[in-house]
């Protein structure tokens, strides 16, 4: 049956960019083995940055099956993916717990690919949780593994480092690593359509108060995110646009993009962006003395903040 899965993958080819195709394979492949775990994990990965709630459902099943069949490799791999989904959903402590669980198995197995993914997961969770020292520490471990074993992942490694430096306002270092990521993709003729790269560049230029250039990058990322239906990236970029428009006095545009974030958030669980958008709207309506909207978005910001698991 594993051979059947391999042949099916090759037959479907480009169609597997559509998660429904993979779900159809899962429906027919019922054997409880590592192949079924792999299929469920694949679906979870495809959903992570689009519909994290759905991703969580699939990865929970994949992890349970991996443990049931006593596969340490797939237990580690699914735990790592579980951690990624949790950090997207704002539960940073539990994300770390699953990634450290995966790390123990990855170290035992001496699996460099697993180690690369797990250290990346740890770095991401620490970054989003506001722990710069641990985020950058694990990111440099990722860089070391990538340079030694996975040259084809250097663009991801540079992007990770750039995202950390940007978040903690080391803007020159952030620009350096994002440019390295761009250059790697160009030299190796890889697609330049990742929304995360222009989003980070937009953040960098917004922090430097170069708002026209920030808006150009955000608009580029916005288009890429729409094309690939990456809701998580789209929500981040909408917030970037909203905050930049607010800083430049274009209040109507700021309100529009902040509300776009909330609209997408109705089907996509990404609470940190909901918090940022609702807080911005609350500030705008407070300045405009629009009491009912002020109360509405303040309440939303408060409830979202209460739901976040951001403390270590």
Give the three-class secondary structure for 28.
helix
Helix and strand element counts for the chain (H, E): 16, 0
pLDDT digits (tens, 9 = 90+) for 164-207: 999 999 999 999 999 999 999 999 888 888 899 999 999 999 99
Neighbours of 267 (CB within 10 A): 11
| Residue at token pair 């609209």 | 263
pTM beyond 0.95, yes or no: no
Note the pLDDT of residue 24: 86
Strand partners, 91: 309
Note the pLDDT of residue 17: 56
Note the pLDDT of residue 106: 96
Task: Compute the distance between CA of residue 72 and CA of residue 293 in angstroms, rounded to an integer.
Answer: 51
Give the three-class secondary structure for 188.
coil
Note the pLDDT of residue 2: 42
Tokens of 147: 């340079």
Note the pLDDT of residue 8: 39
Using alpha carbons, select from 103, 105, 27 the residue that is nearest to residue 70: 105
Ranges of the chain with pLDDT below 70: 1-17, 309-312
Give the three-class secondary structure for 71.
coil
Q: What Å distances lie between residue 64 and 61, 72, 149, CA to CA?
A: 5, 12, 30
Note the pLDDT of residue 309: 58
In 129-227, DSSP assigns E strands to: none
Task: Compute the distance between CA of residue 141 and CA of residue 150 in angstroms, rounded to an integer.
Answer: 13
In angstroms, the first-to-last Cα distance of the chain is 44
Phi and psi, residue 50, nearest 5°: -115, -60
pLDDT digits (tens, 9 = 90+) for 246-263: 999 999 999 999 999 999
| Residue at token pair 């027919």 | 28
């Amino acid at each position: 049956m594993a051979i059947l899965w391999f042949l099916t993958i090759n037959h479907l080819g480009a169609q597997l960019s559509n998660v429904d195709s993979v779900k159809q394979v899962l429906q027919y492949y019922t054997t409880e083995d590592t192949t079924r775990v792999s299929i469920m994990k694949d679906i979870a990965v495809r959903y992570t940055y689009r519909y994290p709630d759905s991703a969580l459902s699939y990865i929970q099943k994949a992890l349970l099956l991996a443990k049931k069949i006593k596969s340490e490799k797939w237990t580690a791999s699914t735990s790592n993916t579980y951690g990624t989904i949790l950090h997207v959903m704002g539960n940073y402590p539990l994300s770390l717990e699953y990634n450290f669980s995966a790390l123990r198995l990855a170290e035992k197995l001496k699996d460099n690919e697993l180690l690369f993914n797990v250290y990346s997961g740890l770095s991401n969770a620490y970054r989003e949780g506001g722990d710069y020292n641990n985020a950058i520490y694990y990111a440099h471990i990722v860089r070391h593994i990538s340079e030694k074993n996975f040259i084809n992942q250097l663009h991801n490694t540079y992007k990770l480092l750039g995202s950390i430096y940007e978040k903690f306002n080391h803007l020159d270092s952030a620009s350096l690593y994002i440019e390295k990521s761009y250059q790697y993709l160009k030299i190796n003729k890889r697609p330049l359509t990742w929304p995360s790269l222009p989003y980070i560049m937009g953040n960098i230029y917004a922090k430097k108060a170069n708002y026209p250039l920030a808006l150009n990058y955000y608009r580029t990322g916005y288009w890429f995110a729409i094309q690939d239906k990456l809701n998580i990236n789209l929500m981040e970029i909408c917030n970037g646009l909203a905050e930049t428009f607010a800083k430049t006095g274009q209040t109507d545009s700021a309100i529009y993009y902040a509300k776009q974030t909330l609209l997408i958030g109705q089907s996509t669980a990404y609470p940190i962006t909901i918090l940022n958008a609702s807080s911005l709207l609350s500030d705008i309506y407070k300045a405009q003395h629009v009491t009912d909207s002020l109360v509405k978005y303040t309440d939303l910001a408060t409830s979202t903040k209460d739901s976040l698991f951001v403390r270590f």
